[in-house]
């Protein structure tokens, strides 16, 4: 990926920061304010905060912008620097930062590992061969979802960045601690100076529009997000109510079971296979599409979908069948 192409592609910054013990709550509040400031910058698509996990000792912040240029403008802005000066009281050492640029793909909705390497120009071919062997080996492990390699971005990042994904922290840990990985790392000893951290983003799949469960940036409007969830939630809840009604469960148990099942169905069926394909163009409109046309088309689809299900459930529950 050359610099010219990167400038026209969506860009993601992944920033890791260790926080002094006892200041986690203050840091999180400060970081939320900083993320809010980012929303006012051109090209902003979304921001997320992930607290430390057993695999990742740092707080991780992910910024998504529609281009490298817009991301760079935010990263180097006076606004962000002012916030960083104030927030320095919470930091336990310097932050790490990786930037990836991709036209379509972003972070996996489960566990993503980010690894950066500094590679001398005369060692690029050897590094790529070694990366190929590494991917061949890790792809044999259970839960492996795929990998992407990003070249340095001139003026923003000098390191090569690799993203690789697993479907759970347990499967990731099996690879990270495996003798196979240790053997490959030993073979690439000259590239052993690297930074690694993980991002656990388990609930991002509700709005994953790319293939193989890859997650796109969050929808830019909370109203659109709410309406999209409504389109999926209405048929899901009604169908579950109809399916569970013969069991005659007490209200508190019925709601408990129904909420659990609806959450699972929404995550694994309704959103990825119904709502996202139906409303994807509205939630993620092309940059050259007029906003008025996009909104009118999206709202029309929402209205038609809700009307369709309302008619279906009216006929099913009033004309054809009455709930016991």
Is 23 inside any structural domain? Answer: yes
Boundary-marking domain end, from 179, 212, 245 = 212
Among 257, 227, 218, 230, smallest CA distance to 241 is for 257
Q: Classify burial at 47, counting beta carbons within 10 Å of its beta carbon; exposed 0-12, middle 13-18, buried 19 or more.
A: buried
Tell me the CATH number at 15: 3.30.70.100
Q: 155 falls in which pLDDT band (50, 70, 90)?
A: low
Is 324 inside any structural domain? Answer: no
Q: Assess whether 172 and 199 both reside in one domain.
A: yes
Q: How many domains does the chain have?
A: 2
Measured CA distances, 248 to 85, 138, 260, 324 (Å)? 60, 49, 17, 9
Is 280 inside any structural domain? Answer: yes
Q: 62 falls in which pLDDT band (50, 70, 90)?
A: confident
CA distance linking residue 322 with residue 324, whole number of Å: 6
- Give residue 156's pLDDT: 64
Boundary-marking domain end, from 212, 231, 264 = 212
Half-sphere exposure at residue 115, Cβ-oriented, CA atoms within 13 angstroms = 19
Kindly report the backbone phi and psi dihedral angles of residue 9, in degrees, each rounded to the nearest multiple of 5, phi listed first. Answer: -105, 160
Q: Which two tokens stand for residue 180?
A: 């196979």
Higher-confidence position of 152 and 183: 183
Q: Assess whether 233 and 122 both reside in one domain.
A: no
Query: Does the pLDDT of residue 42 top 60, yes or no?
Result: yes
Query: Does the pLDDT of residue 310 top 90, yes or no?
Result: yes
Boundary-marking domain end, from 173, 192, 212 = 212
What would the mean pLDDT of 69-83 be, rounded to a whole number?
85
What would the mean pLDDT of 210-230 be, rounded to a whole number?
61
List of residues 6+ apart from 86 with CB closer than 8 A = 30
Q: Assess whether 149 and 166 both reside in one domain.
A: yes
Number of residues that make up the chain: 324
Q: Assess whether 234 and 166 both reside in one domain.
A: no
Query: Does the pLDDT of residue 164 top 80, yes or no?
Result: no
Is 184 inside any structural domain? Answer: yes
Q: Assess whether 207 and 227 both reside in one domain.
A: no
In this prediction the pTM is 0.45
Q: Assess whether 149 and 228 both reside in one domain.
A: no
CA distance linking residue 123 with residue 64, whole number of Å: 31
Query: Does the pLDDT of residue 8 top 70, yes or no?
Result: no
HEC states along 116-167?
Answer: EECCCHHHHHHHHHHHHHHHHHHCCCCCEEEEEEECCECCCECCEEEEEEEC
Q: Assess whether 201 and 225 both reside in one domain.
A: no
- Give residue 142's pLDDT: 86
Among 172, 198, 190, smallest CA distance to 130 is for 190
Q: Assess whether 155 and 88 both reside in one domain.
A: yes
Q: Assess whether 39 and 75 both reside in one domain.
A: yes
CA distance linking residue 228 with residue 232, whole number of Å: 7
DSSP-assigned beta bridge partners for residue 172: none
Which residue range(s) make up the domain with 243? 219-319
Is 43 inside any structural domain? Answer: yes
Q: Assess whether 124 and 142 both reside in one domain.
A: yes
């Amino acid at each position: 990926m050359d610099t010219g192409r990167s400038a026209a592609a969506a860009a993601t910054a992944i920033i890791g920061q260790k926080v002094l013990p006892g200041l986690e709550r203050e840091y999180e509040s400060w970081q939320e304010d900083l993320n809010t400031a980012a929303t006012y910058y051109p090209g902003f698509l979304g921001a997320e905060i992930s607290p430390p996990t057993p695999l990742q000792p740092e707080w991780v912040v992910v910024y998504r912008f529609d281009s490298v240029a817009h991301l760079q403008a935010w990263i180097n802005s006076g606004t962000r620097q002012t916030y960083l000066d104030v927030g320095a009281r919470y930091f336990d050492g310097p932050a790490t930062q990786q930037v990836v640029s991709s036209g379509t793909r972003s972070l996996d909705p489960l566990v993503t590992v980010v690894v950066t390497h500094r590679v001398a120009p005369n060692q690029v071919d050897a590094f790529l061969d070694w990366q190929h062997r590494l991917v061949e080996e890790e792809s044999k492990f259970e839960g492996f979802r795929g990998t992407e390699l990003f070249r340095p971005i001139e003026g923003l990042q000098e390191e090569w960045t690799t993203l690789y994904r697993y479907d759970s922290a347990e499967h990731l840990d099996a690879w990270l601690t495996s003798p196979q990985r240790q053997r490959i790392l030993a073979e690439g000893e000259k590239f052993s100076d690297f930074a690694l951290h993980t991002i656990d983003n388990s609930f991002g799949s509700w709005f994953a529009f790319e293939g193989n469960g890859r997650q796109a940036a969050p929808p830019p409007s909370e109203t659109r997000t709410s309406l999209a969830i409504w389109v999926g939630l209405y048929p899901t809840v009604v169908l579950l109510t109809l399916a569970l009604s013969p069991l005659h469960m007490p209200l508190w148990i019925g709601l408990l079971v129904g909420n659990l099942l609806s959450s699972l169905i929404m995550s694994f069926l309704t959103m990825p296979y119904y709502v996202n394909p139906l409303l994807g163009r509205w939630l993620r409109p092309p940059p050259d599409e007029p906003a008025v046309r996009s909104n009118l088309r999206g709202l029309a689809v929402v209205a038609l979908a809700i009307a369709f299900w309302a008619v279906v459930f009216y006929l099913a529950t009033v004309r054809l069948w009455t709930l016991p």
